[in-house]
């Protein structure tokens, strides 16, 4: 039966076993990849965007016709552009010029007003640091104040993690036939990890959770930040605390460098036919690390966060 709108096809994405990659590396265990790059906006952030806006409408914090503003690396902005457009809310996406140009063009095509913020002096083009993100946040706050807008606030709004608790977790559990022993996720806002691990533990309290960060920017693990300008877009912002991690435990921290994320994303495409982005490469690289170590023989779930199509202008596919 046909859906009434694209809102109704957010979530419910398929999952696939990455058995070829695991076998080729002589590892014991399985990796379940949740293909969230098959959402309408080509990323997992569609779920959070829908969760935030629907919850804000329900509790009255978002008024009819009010403008919605949010900072984004591109994926949340794309999700919000779709959700806000279909629900009748003007949307302004505020993004660093350090993110790939495909993202800005896609948001604009979906009806968003896109405000691009210059990177700070000394920043590396194509690599968004925590300081760059702070500048984007400053601009977003100015726009919210000037327009009397609603701030979607993906780093704090409960609708983000709730969407993953209510949809991503039960889907992964069902797709794995209840066999998942661990979940690993590259940390951006922390909403995917926080919501998904809580939802999986509601099914089985023994499921272990691992946070993935860029090498040299593992602030959540308590390490010194030496490389804030890593190439893995969409996360690793060197934030030592994230709201969505406060009420869930972390069983371990993993780091992946840019080269490993890149080569794993490339291998994922060639070996499994999964065309994911940088953070998808980071997640799968982390899952392979786990099968070679503490999760040997287990079943590690990861999310394929977004599409490789969003990185054609970057060095991901060089």
Count the domains in the chain: 2
Give pLDDT tens digits for 262-294.
999 999 999 999 999 999 999 999 999 999 999
The pLDDT of residue 254: 98
Asked if 209 and 121 sit in the same domain, the reply is: no
CB count, 10 Å around CB of 249?
10
Asked if 208 and 310 sit in the same domain, the reply is: yes
Give pLDDT tens digits for 136-161.
999 999 999 999 999 999 999 999 99
- Phi first, then psi, for residue 151 (nearest 5°) are -90, 120
> Quick check: 126 pLDDT over 80?
no
Give the pLDDT mean for 246-258. 97
Q: Which of 98, 130, 151 is the last residue of a domain?
A: 151
Which of 123, 238, 279, 307 is labelled catalytic? 279
Asked if 282 and 233 sit in the same domain, the reply is: yes
Asked if 40 and 100 sit in the same domain, the reply is: no
Asked if 109 and 185 sit in the same domain, the reply is: no
Q: How far apart are CA 194 and CA 185, in angstroms?
A: 10
HSE-up of residue 76 (Cα within 13 Å, Cβ side) = 30
Give pLDDT tens digits for 158-186.
999 999 999 999 999 999 999 999 999 99
b (16+ CB within 10 A) / e for 170-184: ebbbebbeeebbbbb
The pLDDT of residue 35: 98
The pLDDT of residue 236: 85
Give pLDDT tens digits for 187-211.
999 999 999 999 999 999 999 999 9
Domain that holds residue 64: 45-151
Active-site residue flag, 45: yes
Asked if 139 and 275 sit in the same domain, the reply is: no
Q: Find the CATH number of the domain harbouring 256.
A: 3.40.50.1100
Give pLDDT tens digits for 44-79.
999 999 999 999 999 999 999 999 999 998 899 999
Instruction: Round to the nearest angstrom and report the end-to-end CA distance of the chain.
Output: 41
The pLDDT of residue 230: 86
Active-site residue flag, 310: no
Which of 15, 34, 44, 45 is labelled catalytic? 45
Q: How far apart are CA 138 and CA 71, in angstroms?
A: 9
Of 2-11, 38-47, 77-86, 118-127, give the lowest mean pLDDT range: 118-127
The pLDDT of residue 238: 83
Kindly tell me the number of DSSP H helices and DSSP E strands found in the chain.
10, 10
The pLDDT of residue 172: 98
255 and 236 in contact (C-beta within 8 Å)?
no
Residues 6+ apart with CB under 8 A from 144: 69, 150, 151
Name the pLDDT band for 129 (thresholds 50, 70, 90). Answer: confident
Alpha helix positions (H), the chain: 19-24, 45-59, 75-87, 101-109, 130-147, 158-163, 169-175, 191-203, 258-272, 278-292
């Amino acid at each position: 039966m046909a859906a009434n709108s694209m809102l109704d096809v957010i979530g419910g994405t398929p999952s696939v076993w990455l058995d070829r990659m695991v076998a080729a590396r002589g590892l014991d265990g399985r990796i379940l990849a949740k293909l969230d790059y098959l959402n309408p906006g080509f990323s997992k952030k569609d779920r959070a965007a829908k969760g935030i806006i629907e919850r804000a409408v329900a509790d009255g914090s978002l008024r009819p016709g009010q403008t919605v503003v949010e900072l984004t690396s591109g994926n949340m902005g794309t999700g919000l552009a779709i959700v806000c457009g279909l629900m009748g809310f003007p949307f302004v996406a505020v993004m660093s010029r350090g993110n790939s140009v495909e993202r800005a063009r896609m948001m604009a095509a979906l009806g968003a007003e896109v405000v691009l913020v210059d990177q700070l002096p000394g920043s590396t083009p194509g690599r968004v640091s925590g300081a760059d993100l702070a500048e984007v946040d400053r601009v977003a706050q100015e726009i919210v104040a000037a327009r009397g807008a609603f701030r979607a606030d993906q780093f704090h709004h409960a609708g983000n993690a709730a969407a993953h608790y209510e949809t991503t977790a039960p889907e992964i559990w069902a797709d794995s036939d209840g066999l998942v022993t661990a979940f690993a996720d590259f940390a951006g806002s922390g909403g995917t990890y926080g919501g998904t691990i809580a939802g999986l533990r509601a099914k089985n309290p023994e499921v272990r959770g691992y946070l993935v960060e860029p090498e040299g920017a593992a602030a959540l693990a308590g390490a010194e930040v030496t490389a804030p300008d890593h190439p893995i877009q969409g996360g690793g912002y060197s934030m030592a605390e994230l709201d969505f991690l406060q009420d869930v435990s972390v069983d371990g921290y993993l780091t992946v460098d840019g080269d490993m994320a890149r080569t794993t994303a490339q291998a994922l495409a060639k070996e499994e036919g999964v065309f994911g982005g940088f953070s998808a490469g980071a997640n799968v690289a982390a899952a392979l690390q786990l099968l070679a170590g503490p999760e040997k023989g287990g079943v590690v779930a990861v999310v394929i966060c977004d599409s490789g199509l969003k990185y054609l202008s970057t060095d991901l596919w060089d």
